[in-house]
């Protein structure tokens, strides 16, 4: 049966500018100003040091479960740094470094991971959505934001983050499809860290790359070395400018690696080898960028101490805030509280008013947190 070729065979490009030793391919140098390079480095260092401190806090019971970012700092910082304050950032649940760069106070992030709803509320001046725990559900929201900006004639761009595991969800495909159909100003940044909890990439897709999935939806797709902050910055800058200029969305796959646990409730030794982790540690994005800046004589003396002091002060502010009001757990879910939750609220309010401990409920009415206790429920 005769067949007509509708499209020539597609190609997927990969971009890398800094090698694992911090050596620059000068032909691809994005020529980022020195002040911006320092800003990128500080954000990556702050993200790494905060990550380490948060793990200790979690192990000490001072915050709840969270998703560490070690190894993925370049993918986050290099991408988020290309946005304006008037642009929108839509994170998933592992974008701490990007959130810091966007102006989220450290103590607010700690509040979130201690179970306080106030920790997830962006400042009125921030065009950011809060952390999203359910995988990929933030992506249709991001497309809606981009469509709204387009409809109103704003020049805002929406950058949405997700992981490789999110590309196995229907929300991802629906979002990218409609972004292409509506030609909205969106940039999808997929942090391909090789593992969706314990499921490796090869069990999620038969595609050679995630970037090529963009082609099915009629939008550009590019794979970058996600441990190379210069490559991520250059690719995202180009994608953001395309979107702002009315040329539609882009999908960028950042090939990186989660050097630590999926969350602090995870044990990765059960599903991956130490040799694999060691191989990726040699590609550490922070080590690579440090070597590059050292050659350019842009490393700032005393920066690590400065960052550590900033984190320590934020932890003190966080712990000085005291316990949250337990009754707020009943707010912001229903316009009109159902009878059974209204009864539970009244029971808890009475117990708190008397200084008594609320009685344990049935299986479907778990005992709520008491004043002075932090809850890790989200």
Q: Is 271 a catalytic residue?
A: yes
Query: What DSSP string runs through 247-264?
Result: ---EEEEEE----S-SST
Cα separation, 239 vs 219, in Å, equals 11
Cα separation, 368 vs 165, in Å, equals 32
Closest to 62 (Cα-Cα) out of 262, 320, 319, 323: 319
Between 34-59 and 106-113, two packed helices, what is the crossing angle to 10 degrees?
30
Catalytic residue among 271, 334, 340, 371: 271
- Record the tokens describing residue 366, joined without a space: 């778990």
Residue 43 DSSP SS3: helix
Catalytic residue among 53, 94, 262, 288: 262
- Record the tokens describing residue 4, joined without a space: 């007509």
Query: What DSSP string runs through 281-342?
Result: HTT-HHHHHHHHHHHTT-PPTTHHHHHHHHHHHHHHHHHTS----GGGGGSSS-SS--HHHH
Cα separation, 191 vs 226, in Å, equals 7
Cα separation, 21 vs 357, in Å, equals 58
Catalytic residue among 102, 258, 288, 292: 258
Cα separation, 66 vs 61, in Å, equals 12
Q: Is 14 a catalytic residue?
A: no
Q: 356-369: string of b/e by CB count within 10 Å (b at 16+)?
A: eebeeeeeeeeebb
Q: At a CB cut-off of 8 Å and minimum separation 6, what does 246 contact?
A: 183, 185
Counting other chains too, the contacts that 294-303 makes at CB distance below 8 Å and 24 or more residues apart are 294/22, 295/22, 296/34, 296/37, 298/34, 298/37, 298/38, 298/41, 299/41, 300/38, 300/42, 303/41, 303/42, 303/45
Cα separation, 63 vs 79, in Å, equals 28
Q: Which residues are catalytic?
A: 258, 262, 271
């Amino acid at each position: 049966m005769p067949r007509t070729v509708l499209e020539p065979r597609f190609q997927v490009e990969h971009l890398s500018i800094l090698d694992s030793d911090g050596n620059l391919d000068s032909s691809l140098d994005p020529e980022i100003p020195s002040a911006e390079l320092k800003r990128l480095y500080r954000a990556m260092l702050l993200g790494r040091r905060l990550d380490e401190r948060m793990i200790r806090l979690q192990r000490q019971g001072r915050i709840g479960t969270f998703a560490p970012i070690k190894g993925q700092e370049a993918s986050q910082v290099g991408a988020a740094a290309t946005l304006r304050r008037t642009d929108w950032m839509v994170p998933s649940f592992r974008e701490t470094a990007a959130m810091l760069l966007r102006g989220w106070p450290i103590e607010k992030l700690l509040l979130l991971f201690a179970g306080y709803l106030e920790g997830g509320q962006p400042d009125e001046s921030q065009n950011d959505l809060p952390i999203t725990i359910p995988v990929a559900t933030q992506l249709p929201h991001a497309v809606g934001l981009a469509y709204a900006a387009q409809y109103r004639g704003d020049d805002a761009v929406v950058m949405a983050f997700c992981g490789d595991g999110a590309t196995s969800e229907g929300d991802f495909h629906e979002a990218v499809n409609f972004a292409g159909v509506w030609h909205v100003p969106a940039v999808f940044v997929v942090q391909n860290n090789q593992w969706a909890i314990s499921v490796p990439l090869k069990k999620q897709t038969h595609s050679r790359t995630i970037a090529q999935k963009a082609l099915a939806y009629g939008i550009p797709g590019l794979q970058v070395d996600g441990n190379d902050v210069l490559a991520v910055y250059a690719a995202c800058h180009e994608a953001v400018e395309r979107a702002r200029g009315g040329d539609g969305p882009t999908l960028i796959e950042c090939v990186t690696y989660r050097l630590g646990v999926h969350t602090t409730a995870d044990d990765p030794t059960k599903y991956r080898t130490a040799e694999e982790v060691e191989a990726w540690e040699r590609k550490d994005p922070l080590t690579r960028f440090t070597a590059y800046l050292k050659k350019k004589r842009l490393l700032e003396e005393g920066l690590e101490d400065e960052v550590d002091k900033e984190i320590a002060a934020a932890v003190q502010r966080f712990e000085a805030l005291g316990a949250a009001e337990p009754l707020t757990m009943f707010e912001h879910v229903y316009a009109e509280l159902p009878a059974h939750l209204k009864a539970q609220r009244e029971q808890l309010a009475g117990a708190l008013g008397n200084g008594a401990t609320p009685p344990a409920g049935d299986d479907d009415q778990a005992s709520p947190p008491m004043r002075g206790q932090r809850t890790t429920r989200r």
